[in-house]
């Protein structure tokens, strides 16, 4: 099984950025734990701060992978183009957020991606990614 995690803008600064919201673990450390825990599947990782690069990655893997776990960061709330890319591919995409976006500013309550995703997981810290993988594993 091949799963692709995609992190969008500013998520390269996890562990450094706004720790009270996003925690103090860097994504590389968390990814190592995930890969150990799910040693029987391949977990690929891609991060970009650039909208078009996220779209290119979705196109590249979106016809042959088994699932995508996507935290598009702030693009979640603004990007018609990423929403369209999710609609265009075959691989199911799960939208994840580390924070509970519904407890935060109103502009974070709206997702332009969710309607094209298999589902949305938000508010469980980094565990949101594991919960998404669990779902993909269960079909
Ligand atoms: C986020 C929530 C977004 O609103 C924000 O812009 C992020 C991170 C999250 O994981 O909680 O960059 O996607």
Task: Report the alpha-carbon distance of residue 82 to residue 113 in Å, rounded.
Answer: 7
Q: What is the pLDDT of residue 139?
A: 80
Task: Report the alpha-carbon distance of residue 94 to residue 125 in Å, rounded.
Answer: 15
Residue 73 Cβ < 6 Å to ligand 1: yes
Give the number of the atom of ligand 1 that is nearest the alpha carbon of residue 8.
Answer: 12
Q: What is the pLDDT of residue 67?
A: 98
pLDDT tens string 65-113: 999 999 999 999 999 999 999 999 999 999 999 999 999 999 999 999 9
pTM: 0.97
Task: Take atom 7 of ligand 1 and give the residue whose Cα is closest.
Answer: 73
Give residue 13 CA to ligand 1 midpoint distance, Å.
12
97 given a catalytic annotation = yes
Tell me: domain 2-138, CATH 3.40.50.9100, correct? yes
pLDDT tens string 14-30: 998 889 999 899 999 99
pLDDT tens string 2-15: 999 999 999 999 99
**51: closest CA among 8, 20, 89, 12?**
8
Which one from 30, 46, 75, 97 is the annotated catalytic residue? Answer: 97
Q: What is the pLDDT of residue 17?
A: 86
């Amino acid at each position: 099984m091949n799963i692709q995690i995609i992190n969008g803008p500013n998520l390269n600064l996890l562990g450094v950025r706004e720790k009270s919201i996003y925690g103090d673990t860097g994504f590389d450390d968390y990814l190592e734990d995930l890969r150990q825990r799910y040693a029987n599947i391949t977990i690929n990782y891609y991060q970009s701060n650039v909208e078009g690069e996220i779209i290119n990655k979705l196109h590249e893997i979106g016809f042959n992978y088994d699932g995508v776990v996507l935290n598009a960061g702030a693009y979640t709330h603004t990007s018609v183009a990423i929403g369209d890319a999710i609609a265009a591919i075959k691989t199911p995409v799960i939208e994840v957020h580390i924070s509970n976006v519904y407890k935060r500013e109103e502009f974070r309550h709206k997702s332009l991606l969710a309607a094209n995703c298999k589902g949305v997981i938000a508010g469980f810290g980094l565990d949101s990614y594991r919960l998404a993988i669990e779902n993909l594993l269960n079909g």
